[in-house]
Structure formats: C-alpha cells, structure tokens
C-alpha cells in the first residue's frame, strides 16, 4: 500500500498566533496528520493490540443456531397442559453440544437437552434440570415457565454481515473472541508505527555511565521509549547527541530512515544552544508552537525528511506531560488509531490553588482513600519524584481559577493514557 506524504504545512497555525491554546494545538494535530504506515493481514492469534485498517463484518451468526443455555429438558410450550404440576413423558435420546438430536421431538413429550446443544425441531422452551423431578420415563415440574425460556436464539448476539468493528479500533483480547465466534480468521491492520527517541544536550550522560558533577543522567530516554512501547508502538533508540548542529542533523537523518515518527527531548526552545528548533526551522518544515500549557510551552512540531518530528522540553516532567497531551494523540493518528476524547471525571479537591489566566495547567495528582484529588507538594518541573508519586493529572482550565478544598476538579488518570 502506498502511503501519501504529509503536507509541509501540516502543523501550520494561523498567522499572528503567538500563544496557541491547548485545544487549538490538538485540533491542528488531528486535522494535519493522517496514517503514515502500511497495512498487512494477520491472524487473530497475534492481533491483540493491533489497529484495524479496515472495518470487519461477521461471516457467521453468533450463535449460529438456536441452542440451550442450560442443562434441562426441552419441549413445545403450546403442548403444556393447563395444570399446576405438569407431567411430560420423556422421549428417548439426548441433544448435546456437538451431538445434536437427530429427529423431531414428539408433541407433548420432553427431550433431555444439555447446555450448548442445538434445539431440535419440536422444542421451543427448556426447563432447568434443577426444577424437574424425574419419575421413571417422565418428568414433572411446576407451571409458570415462560415460552422460550432458557434458549439462545440464532444470531441473537451478532448476525452474519453485521459490522463489528470500524477501522481505527484497537483490538483487545475480548474483541478477538467475538471475531473468532463470527468466523473471522484474519484481519487487516496497520503495520506498527516506529517511533525514534532522540536526546540532545551536552550535559546529558547515558544511564550506567560515569557522570561528572556538571552532568545529569538522561532520564527522558528510558521514560519516552517505554511510554511508546506501552502505547503499542515500536520504540527505536535514536541516540543521544551533544549540542552540535552537525551531530544532531546526522541523528535526525538516521532516525528519519529508520522510523515513522521522531520524538526529540531538549533543544526545542529558542536559546543559543537550542539547535533542534534551529535545524528544524532552517532545514525542515518547522512550526514551533508556544503552547499555552504548564508544564511545557516550547513544543516543536515539524517534518524532517517527510517524517513527523516532535520536540519536547528537556525537563522530564514537562516532557512527560507534553508526550501525554500532544505526543500520544499525534502518534495514534499517524498509526491509524481512532483518537478518543480524553476520559476524565470530576472529583473534589483536597488542595487550594490560585491560578492565573493564560495557560492550561496539569498538576501531578492522585486520589486519596475517599476518591478526592490531592496534588504533589511542589509544582516545580524538576521534581521528577512527583511523577512516580502521582497516578494522574488534575487539569485546570485556561482561564483564571480559584480552587478551594471541596471544589470539583477534572482528574485524568494515567490509565487513560495507557501507562
């Protein structure tokens, strides 16, 4: 399958926009991107977590035929006598799952039938065996059973030709059970998106190496690589490059040859040694968004050699939040996945906060035993421990806000983001 290239202006914002609201940035991601990966046909055994590239319809009814939901005795409801205690003669034979009864059940008679067995001709109702007394060659039970009781109708779950899943759906184990039951053996999915992660910064040292006092370990690389894997994409280590434009350029070129998208941490701002944004502006198609978000703000979104490239702040907390809020929906779109609205819920706050207007804020938070949102003791982006302490984010609106204890706030669990 030939995948069309992205337009050079896919991230372009209207002229004159200096601070881009979060919602506008997300809208631009949605409208400016499309799937960049090919398609393949795979069997259900290896399909969990894959993204459908085409809708899927049922090839068989589920259930294929009417069958019994219980172990019991089947008969025709209209043949029952109008009595409190009903007695029916037992017809010889049994209908079992995979061993249907060959023939028709006689009028006024009952047949032994087991769970999952096809309902034979002459039967439209089944009485549970626990409600029956066996007396020789007949059964007795109390009246009151409704017509059609304890039966599963043919196609009551899914009918042949019915649309089951749309393109963009991420297949879960339970989805594969439904596909198998409706005789779908293979599905057309998008190939896995490959995402390269590049770290920049002369001050960075690879984890495991010796570090001088003026150096810090590269915390973003293991974090971003594993976030990408948790999202179901293939993560590629694109390397670490010092603040040298030639080195970073070479890293970009190599990553563009080996991946469908690139995450870069560090150098996305406009400082003297922020070569990521400079290179993307001079040699790529760059739109550096000063997004009205905290933590974050300098987020580079561009094309390098036709490959979508996302530059996040070097600070791990800001990189983490920006990857969740902006990186994940972008990668989902590139991978062909349907991007769902953020799932959140309102909970009472157990903190106070005076927020200025102008930026949307994401506070590291977790729920206490009462289901109330508490936030990390410090909003400093250098406090990485706040990420491990938290289990979600409290999102505060763009406008000014005064949050008091007991006020309802929007809480987004990390589970929504797949981490």
Domains with residue ranges and CATH for the chain: 19-36+192-335 (3.40.980.10), 41-62+157-190 (3.90.105.10), 67-152 (2.170.190.11), 345-417 (2.40.340.10)
Q: Provide the pLDDT for residue 14.
A: 46
Task: Quickly tell me which residue has 């970009």 as its tokens.
Answer: 252
Q: Provide the pLDDT for residue 13.
A: 45
Q: Furthest-apart CA pair in the chain: how many Å?
A: 96
CB-count exposure of residue 382 (10 Å: 0-12, 13-18, 19+): exposed
- What residues pair up with 87 in beta bridges, in sequence order? 140
Per-residue pLDDT reduced to its tens digit, 362-393: 999 999 999 999 999 988 877 999 999 999 99
Question: How crowded is residue 130: how many other Cβ atoms within 10 Å of its Cβ?
Answer: 9
Q: Provide the pLDDT for residue 216.
A: 87
CA angle 394, 396, 398 (to 5 degrees): 155
Q: What is the mean pLDDT of the chain?
A: 92
* For residue 10, pLDDT beyond 60: no
Tokens for 367, please give them: 């729920």
- What residues pair up with 42 in beta bridges, in sequence order? 187
Mean pLDDT of 1-20: 60
Per-residue pLDDT reduced to its tens digit, 214-223: 988 999 999 9
What DSSP assignment string belongs to 228-272?
Answer: HHHTT-EEEEEEEE-S-HHHHHHHHHHHHHH-SEEEEES--SSST
Q: Provide the pLDDT for residue 179.
A: 98
What DSSP assignment string belongs to 52-80?
Answer: BSS-EE-SS-BSSS-EESSSEEEE-GGG-
Residue 226: which H helix or E strand, with range?
A: helix 220-230
Nearest to 63 by CA among 115, 126, 123, 128: 115
Mean pLDDT of 198-211: 90
What is the dihedral angle through the alpha carbons of 222, 225, 227, 229, rounded to the nearest 10 degrees? -130
Q: Provide the pLDDT for residue 9.
A: 54
pTM of the predicted protein model: 0.89
* For residue 169, pLDDT beyond 80: yes
* For residue 12, pLDDT beyond 70: no
What sign has the CA pseudo-torsion 378, 383, 389, 393? Answer: positive
Q: For the chain, give the percent of residues with pLDDT over 90.
A: 78
pLDDT band at 304 (very low <50, low <70, confident <90, very high): very high
Give the Cα separation of 192 and 171 in Å (integer): 13
pLDDT band at 273 (very low <50, low <70, confident <90, very high): low
CB-count exposure of residue 125 (10 Å: 0-12, 13-18, 19+): buried
Per-residue pLDDT reduced to its tens digit, 225-235: 999 999 999 99
pLDDT band at 248 (very low <50, low <70, confident <90, very high): very high
Q: Provide the pLDDT for residue 20.
A: 85
Q: For the chain, give the percent of residues with pLDDT over 70.
A: 93
Q: How far is CA 313 from the centre of its chain?
A: 25
* For residue 27, pLDDT beyond 80: yes
Q: Provide the pLDDT for residue 85.
A: 97
Mean pLDDT of 41-47: 98
ω before 63 within 30° of 0 (cis)?
A: yes
Q: Provide the pLDDT for residue 353.
A: 96
* For residue 200, pLDDT beyond 60: yes
């Amino acid at each position: 399958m030939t995948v069309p290239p992205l337009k050079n202006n896919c991230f372009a914002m209207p002229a004159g926009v200096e601070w881009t609201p979060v919602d506008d940035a997300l809208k631009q991601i949605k409208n400016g991107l499309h799937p960049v990966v090919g398609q393949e046909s795979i069997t259900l055994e290896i399909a969990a977590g894959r993204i459908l590239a085409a809708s899927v319809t049922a090839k068989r009814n589920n259930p294929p035929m009417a069958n019994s939901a219980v172990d019991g005795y089947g008969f025709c409801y209209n043949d029952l006598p109008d009595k409190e205690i009903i007695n029916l003669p037992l017809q010889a034979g049994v209908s079992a799952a995979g061993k249907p009864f060959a023939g028709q059940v006689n009028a006024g008679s009952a047949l032994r039938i087991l769970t999952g067995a096809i309902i034979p001709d002459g039967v439209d109702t089944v009485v549970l065996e626990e409600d029956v007394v066996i007396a020789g060659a007949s059964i007795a039970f109390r009246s009151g059973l409704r017509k059609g009781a304890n039966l599963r109708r043919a196609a009551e779950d899914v009918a042949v030709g019915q649309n089951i899943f749309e393109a963009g759906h991420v297949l879960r184990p339970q989805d594969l059970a439904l596909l198998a039951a409706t005789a779908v053996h293979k599905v057309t999915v998008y190939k896995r998106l490959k995402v390269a992660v590049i770290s920049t910064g002369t001050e960075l040292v690879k984890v495991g190496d010796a570090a001088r006092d003026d150096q810090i370990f590269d915390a973003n690389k293991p974090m971003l690589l594993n976030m990408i894997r948790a999202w179901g994409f293939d993560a590629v280590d694109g390397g670490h490059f010092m603040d040298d434009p030639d080195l970073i350029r070479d890293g970009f070129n190599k990553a563009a040859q080996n991946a469908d998208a690139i995450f870069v941490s560090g150098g996305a701002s406009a400082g003297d040694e922020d070569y990521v944004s400079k290179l993307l502006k001079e040699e790529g198609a760059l739109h550096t968004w000063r997004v009205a978000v905290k933590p974050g703000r300098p987020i580079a979104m561009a094309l390098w050699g036709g490959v979508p490239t996302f530059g996040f702040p070097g600070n791990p907390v800001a990189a983490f939040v920006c990857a969740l809020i902006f990186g994940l929906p972008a990668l989902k779109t590139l991978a062909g996945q349907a991007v769902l609205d953020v799932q959140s819920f309102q909970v009472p706050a157990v903190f106070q906060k005076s927020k200025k207007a102008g930026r949307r804020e994401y506070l590291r938070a977790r729920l206490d035993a009462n289901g109330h949102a508490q936030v990390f003791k410090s909003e400093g982006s250098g406090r990485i421990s706040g990420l491990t302490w938290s289990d979600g984010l409290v999102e505060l609106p763009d406008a000014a806000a005064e949050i008091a204890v007991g006020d309802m706030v929007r809480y987004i669990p990390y589970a929504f983001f797949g981490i």
